[in-house]
Amino acid sequence: MRGLSGLQTLYDPDRITQPLQRVGGRLVPIAWRDAIDMLVRALADVRKRAPEQLLVMSGRDRGFTLELLARLCRVFGSPNFVDGTPAHTATLARAMELSLGVRDVPAYTWDGAGAILSLEAGLFEDACRSIYFARIAAAMRRDRARGARLIHAGPTFDLAAYNADRWLRVQPGTAGALALGLAHVLVRDNKYAEEVARAEGFAELKALIADYSPARVAAITGCEAGAVDELAHELWQRRPVLVVVDERSLAYTNGLATARVAIALSALLGSIENPNGGLRVPPRAPTFAWPEAELDAIAERALQTPRLDGAGRAPFVGATSVLDTLPDAIRATPPDVALLYHANPVYARAQPERWRDALAAIPLVVSFSPFLDETVADVADLVLPDHTFLENFEDATPLLASPRAVAGVRQPVVTRVHDTRSTADVVIELAHRLGEPFARAFPWRTSRDAFEERWLGLHAAARGTIVEPTAKQFLERFYHHGFWAERDDALPAHVTIKLPSAWKEPVWDGDPAQYPLALVAYHPLGHASGGGANQPWLRTLQPRPGLGSWTFAASLSPLDAPAGVHTGTRIRVVSPHGAIELAVHLDPRIARGCIAIPTGGGHHAFGRWARGFGVNVMTLLAREPGADTGAALTCTTRVRVEAVT
Amino acid sequence: MSLRRWFTQLLAPEPSPARRDFLRNAATLSAAVAIPQLASAAPRARRRRHWGMVIDLDRCSGCNACGVACRQENNIPTYGPDPTFDGARPEWMSMLWQEPERADALPSLLPLPCMHCADPPCVKVCPVGATYKDPDGFTMQVWDRCIGCRYCMVACPYSRRSFNWTEPAWTPLELQMLNPDVATRPRGVVEKCTFCHHRVRKLQEEAALAGREPTDAECQRLPACAQACPANAITFGDLDDPDSRVAKLSGSPRAFRLLEHLGTEPSVYYLKKDRG
């Protein structure tokens, strides 16, 4: 859908049309040459004094342009490259690392699978692989002699619950307990894959699941004890099974443990690296890597300084980036320059006003955003607008859903509409202008040269959907088709499974006596965390089954509603960190004790379609990152609801 | 003949002999210039179709990709969040949410295009002939002829017609994203789903140039909604062709039509959900 509404991104009437510079508090046009001169001077100055004073922050978690920015940051000598993984895939990738030794998001084989078990996953709504799941759910149901079942456990009646053959309404953050209960029944009844008994940690897992009898699981999750027994046996009969968790499942304080338990359940059901179905380690496309950049003494020394965000150190030992620690760290020791690539923390992160105050303390904030988002409007000093995806030439590296490696290219379908430039090209120009050692580390004339160097690895592999005798012919066909893919799924790999030994119920911020409801902040259909909020076609979608278009409402059980509140009434939702007012939709299907509020509302910038519609739920959230992973968690806060008089 | 008289005849309601000759000559000339290979060919009768659609609710996940694709393809204006327009924003393809009759049952989502009824109530009530039944099964509307009386909206039992309450507010930049194959509609005009009639005609013309009929495979995902559906839930084709996929699916034991008892003979079939 985001792709279908791409025209509204391209022709957004409120796009940034040229580079901007803040003068006297206002953003005014500046020529590209002058803007880049200004940035080069600032970067050269910072590098002379203290290279670690450069902060590079991305809202994206993958892609060649991101890697170019990381390279620039490393050659510069700054350890402070913060990518978008904490808000996306950090928890799942870390769980895979701890369980299977591969730090990546799992792929799935479904050809012979008998069921999908979704543990609070936002399968059809907010997962970036939702289109894939829509396709395979339909195919598993209708295109095979043996139809598969979709079983979903979750607290709200979302599209996954709507589509499920069986929906288990569970309390938020407790799907891990359900998985442990299923594991309990499988082990109790001696129904599990033999190889799991030889896996590391099986004794500890047995000790853990001993505590999660169906009766206890029923007490924790709110589902019926009989359902756990019944479901475990059904899954065993239907194995292999896709046990799916995603960002929505893992947005709680116990996200990492839940992901590990889900992987353990897959293992018990014989559904890991099974060619018929289940969890697979995603293969990598055989692209070349760029040669390691040579670092000079300045960079070597500066890279030894500790990261601002605390990633890699206790308590975030498993993190490569942490977002929520940054505002305090920035305020304590503000960097001299911040480069923001498709990042809008002043809107999209917990307690956005903290981000505004922190970024305002940085002398030069540079944004590459193509849109006048909150970060640009409030704090950016220099804006070097990127193309939108229909104008840009860059890689399209998908988050693999199937175990078949793919490499894609995104090419301009129109000439650029405004005076914008590809950020990848800007990064290369900056490197050339900064001189050595940057010029040596960025030997390409344009970003296209850099990207083609990577893609020629696909040509050298001489396999897959495109095999040509020469590099030129390979690239011609690659650009014509738009992608290269392996011809077959990867063969099952041998993986060493390490099973988990602990799981805890989620911890909620706020005194339950004062704040009785658990807040579930969710990405609604279409416009995710607010990134699509400037596209009216996406705004027109119903954010949740049963709600109208252009509706922004909290979903609440009628049993939890204050007296006199009915659907359409405005309520005040108060957390320990803030309060918002919005309409309520009384939903008899939502689990008691929680309130679901969509993200993506309450923009005060970002164009005419986004501005002023709804409220920003991020103002209510606690800002404690996930332990170990540093993940940005969105379901950790308790709230209370008051009627607005 | 004076120029003035010739021009008056040209504009006359009934073609005069002179005007007929002019039109014939002009048509022959343009055909000869534009498509010389057809200029000398004998006119070929195009096969009549009964275009229809089957929507498999067991495949549909309710993702709304069909609705977004439809808006993009058909230049459907955006009214924004103004609550004045709640329930009245133009939409040709949207998700109908149905609460169940039984308390223990779950609700259902229904992608809802125009039903393109074989006996459409909307056509009967139009006082100016703006809406009409095309021989190929389309229920069509001539935007420029509509006077905005909205009788058709009242008559349509499926509520599949929308009224343009305001002039579409395209900014100059947004004008560039409009689909040139579909006319925009002004204020005061009723609009509706056309089954992406323009795509069907284009395919038929391309096939005719190649001297053949469109194949069923070319038609199955021809409308924008069907093309966008990731779950392959929407199938389009000729209901009169017994070999077409849409005809076969419409004969499924799961097939039903909406409000069939009204006798409107919709051309859209649904295949019921088979879950639980």
Split at pLDDT 50, 70, 90, the class of B276 is: low
Structure tokens of A130? Answer: 């939702």
The Cβ of residue B131 has, within 10 Å, a number of other Cβ atoms equal to: 24
pLDDT in tens, B135-151: 999 999 999 999 999 99
Position A156 scores a pLDDT of 95
Split at pLDDT 50, 70, 90, the class of B31 is: very low
Structure tokens of A570? Answer: 């405005």
| Alpha-carbon span B177 to B194, nearest angstrom | 20
Q: How far is A137 from chain B (nearest CA, A)?
A: 8
Asked if residues A383 and A365 have their Cβ atoms less than 8 Å apart, the reply is no
Please give, one letter per residue, the 3-state secondary structure of B113-132. Answer: CCCCCCCCHHHHHCCCCCEE
| Alpha-carbon span A274 to A280, nearest angstrom | 8
- Three-state DSSP at A442 gives coil
Position B6 scores a pLDDT of 44
Asked if residues B32 and B39 have their Cβ atoms less than 8 Å apart, the reply is yes
| Alpha-carbon span A552 to A533, nearest angstrom | 12
The Cβ of residue A107 has, within 10 Å, a number of other Cβ atoms equal to: 21
What interhelical angle do A175-188 and A225-238 show, nearest 10? 70
Split at pLDDT 50, 70, 90, the class of B33 is: very low
| Alpha-carbon span A204 to A500, nearest angstrom | 7
CB spacing of B69 vs A124 below 8 angstroms: no
The secondary structure of A373-408 as a DSSP string is -HHHHHT-SEE-PPPPTTT--EEE-----SSS-EEE
Single-letter code of the amino acid located at A471 = A
Among candidates A131, A546, A613 on the partner chain, residue whose Cβ is nearest the Cβ of B107: A546
| Alpha-carbon span B93 to B116, nearest angstrom | 13
pLDDT in tens, A494-503: 999 999 999 9
A130 touches B at CB < 8 Å: yes
Residues 214-273 of B with CB under 8 A from A: 228, 230-233
Q: How far is B225 from chain A (nearest CA, A)?
A: 11
The Cβ of residue B148 has, within 10 Å, a number of other Cβ atoms equal to: 13
A540 touches B at CB < 8 Å: yes
Q: Find chain A residues with C-beta within 8 A of B60's C-beta.
A: 138
pLDDT in tens, A158-179: 999 999 999 999 999 999 999 9
Structure tokens of A434? Answer: 């900064």
| Alpha-carbon span A604 to A373, nearest angstrom | 8
Tell me the sheet residues that pair with A82.
A57
Position B48 scores a pLDDT of 87
Lowest mean pLDDT among A174-188, A534-548, B17-31, B76-90: B17-31
B45 touches A at CB < 8 Å: no
Report strand pairing: A337-341 vs A364-367: parallel
Cβ density class A450-470: b for 16+ within 10 Å, e for less = bbbbbbbebbebeebebeeee
Among candidates B56, B81, B176 on the partner chain, residue whose Cβ is nearest the Cβ of A142: B56
Q: Find chain A residues with C-beta within 8 A of B78's C-beta.
A: 536-537, 540, 609
- Three-state DSSP at B151 gives helix
In chain A, the residue whose alpha carbon lies closest to the alpha carbon of B228 is A4
Among candidates B67, B95, B232 on the partner chain, residue whose Cβ is nearest the Cβ of A138: B232
CB spacing of A165 vs B275 below 8 angstroms: yes
Position B9 scores a pLDDT of 44
Position A1 scores a pLDDT of 64
CB spacing of B86 vs A548 below 8 angstroms: yes
Among candidates A138, A541, A546 on the partner chain, residue whose Cβ is nearest the Cβ of B64: A541
CB spacing of B86 vs A10 below 8 angstroms: no
Structure tokens of A631? Answer: 């993940």
Q: Is the pLDDT of residue B14 over 50?
A: no
CB spacing of B177 vs A10 below 8 angstroms: yes
The secondary structure of A520-539 as a DSSP string is EEEPPTTTTTTTTTT-HHHH
B73 touches A at CB < 8 Å: no
Position B34 scores a pLDDT of 43
Q: Which of A27, A40, A125 is nearest to A431 (CA)?
A: A40
Q: Find chain B residues with C-beta within 8 A of A13's C-beta.
A: 171, 173-174
Position B41 scores a pLDDT of 47
Q: How far is B240 from chain A (nearest CA, A)?
A: 25
Mean pLDDT for A220-247 is 95
CB spacing of B97 vs A163 below 8 angstroms: no
What interhelical angle do A471-481 and A447-461 show, nearest 10? 100
In chain B, the residue whose alpha carbon lies closest to the alpha carbon of A160 is B61
- Three-state DSSP at A278 gives strand
Lowest mean pLDDT among A21-30, A609-618, B45-54, B233-242: B45-54
The CATH 3.30.70.20 portion of chain B extends over 52-271
A413 touches B at CB < 8 Å: no
Q: Which of A521, A546, A543, A516 is nearest to A642 (CA)?
A: A516
- Three-state DSSP at A21 gives strand
Q: Is the pLDDT of residue A219 over 60?
A: yes
| Alpha-carbon span A418 to A223, nearest angstrom | 55
Split at pLDDT 50, 70, 90, the class of B28 is: very low
Give the CATH H-level superfamily of domain A107-280: Dimethylsulfoxide Reductase, domain 2 (3.40.228.10)
For domain A14-88+287-393+423-443, which architecture applies?
3-Layer(aba) Sandwich (3.40)
Q: Find chain A residues with C-beta within 8 A of B171's C-beta.
A: 13
- Three-state DSSP at A641 gives strand
pTM above 0.95, yes or no: no
Asked if residues A324 and A311 have their Cβ atoms less than 8 Å apart, the reply is no
Q: Is the pLDDT of residue B36 over 80?
A: no
Lowest mean pLDDT among A392-401, A529-538, B88-97, B179-188: A529-538
The topology (CATH level 3) of B52-271 is Alpha-Beta Plaits (3.30.70)
| Alpha-carbon span B237 to B83, nearest angstrom | 38
Farthest CA pair distance, chain B: 81
Q: Which of A1, A168, A415 to mutate to test the interface with B (most CBs of B within 10 A)?
A: A1
Q: How far is B74 from chain A (nearest CA, A)?
A: 12
| Alpha-carbon span A450 to A293, nearest angstrom | 13
pLDDT in tens, A504-560: 999 999 999 999 999 999 988 876 556 788 888 888 887 777 787 888 999 999 999
In chain B, the residue whose alpha carbon lies closest to the alpha carbon of A148 is B275
| Alpha-carbon span A641 to A572, nearest angstrom | 6
| Alpha-carbon span A229 to B263, nearest angstrom | 49
Q: Is the pLDDT of residue B5 over 60?
A: no
Among candidates B58, B68, B231 on the partner chain, residue whose Cβ is nearest the Cβ of A135: B231
Position B190 scores a pLDDT of 97
pLDDT in tens, B199-219: 999 999 999 999 999 999 999
pLDDT in tens, A418-445: 999 999 999 999 999 999 899 999 999 9
Q: Is the pLDDT of residue B59 over 50?
A: yes
Mean pLDDT for B206-233 is 96
Position B45 scores a pLDDT of 64
Phi, psi (degrees; rounded to nearest 5) at A101: 80, 15
| Alpha-carbon span A620 to A350, nearest angstrom | 8
Q: In the Cβ-directed half-sphere of A332, how many Cα atoms lie within 13 Å?
A: 7
Q: How far is B65 from chain A (nearest CA, A)?
A: 5
Structure tokens of A310? Answer: 């605390």
A542 touches B at CB < 8 Å: yes
CA dihedral defined by B99, B101, B103, B104, rounded to 10 degrees?
Answer: -90
Position B1 scores a pLDDT of 43
Q: Is the pLDDT of residue B64 over 80?
A: yes
Among candidates B80, B109, B176 on the partner chain, residue whose Cβ is nearest the Cβ of A609: B80
Split at pLDDT 50, 70, 90, the class of B22 is: very low
| Alpha-carbon span A153 to A167, nearest angstrom | 6
Lowest mean pLDDT among A19-33, A264-278, A282-296, B103-117: B103-117
Counting other chains too, the contacts that A333-336 makes at CB distance below 8 Å and 24 or more residues apart are A333/A308, A334/A358, A334/A361, A334/A362, A334/A363, A335/A53, A335/A54, A335/A55, A335/A80, A335/A308, A335/A362, A336/A42, A336/A45, A336/A46, A336/A49, A336/A50, A336/A53, A336/A54, A336/A362, A336/A363, A336/A364
Position B44 scores a pLDDT of 57
Asked if residues A567 and A555 have their Cβ atoms less than 8 Å apart, the reply is no
B105 touches A at CB < 8 Å: no
Lowest mean pLDDT among A304-313, A444-453, A486-495, A528-537: A528-537
The secondary structure of A143-212 as a DSSP string is SSSS--EEEEEESS--HHHHH-SEEEE--TT-HHHHHHHHHHHHHHTT-S-GGGGGSBTHHHHHHHHHT-
The Cβ of residue B37 has, within 10 Å, a number of other Cβ atoms equal to: 8
Split at pLDDT 50, 70, 90, the class of B83 is: confident
% of chain B exceeding 70 in pLDDT: 83
Q: Find chain A residues with C-beta within 8 A of B231's C-beta.
A: 134-135, 137-138
CB spacing of B231 vs A12 below 8 angstroms: no
Tell me the sheet residues that pair with A166.
A151
Q: Average pLDDT of chain A?
A: 94
% of chain A exceeding 90 in pLDDT: 87
Q: How far is B68 from chain A (nearest CA, A)?
A: 6
Mean pLDDT for B47-76 is 94
DSSP run (H or E) holding B55: strand B51-56
In chain B, the residue whose alpha carbon lies closest to the alpha carbon of A601 is B81
Q: Which of B111, B62, B86 is nearest to B231 (CA)?
A: B62
Q: Is the pLDDT of residue A83 over 50?
A: yes
Q: How far is A226 from chain B (nearest CA, A)?
A: 17
pLDDT in tens, B150-163: 999 999 999 999 99
Split at pLDDT 50, 70, 90, the class of A313 is: very high
Q: Which of A8, A11, A152 to mutate to test the interface with B (most CBs of B within 10 A)?
A: A11
CB spacing of B62 vs A162 below 8 angstroms: yes
A583 touches B at CB < 8 Å: no
Phi, psi (degrees; rounded to nearest 5) at B133: -100, 120
CB spacing of A540 vs B95 below 8 angstroms: no
Among candidates A12, A138, A609 on the partner chain, residue whose Cβ is nearest the Cβ of B231: A138
Domain extents in chain A: 14-88+287-393+423-443, 107-280, 517-643
The topology (CATH level 3) of A517-643 is Barwin-like endoglucanases (2.40.40)
Single-letter code of the amino acid located at A24 = G
Instruction: Give the count of Cβ contacts less than 8 A between chain A and B.
Output: 117
Among candidates B61, B78, B228 on the partner chain, residue whose Cβ is nearest the Cβ of A163: B61
Among candidates A1, A162, A546 on the partner chain, residue whose Cβ is nearest the Cβ of B65: A1
Phi, psi (degrees; rounded to nearest 5) at A149: -105, 145
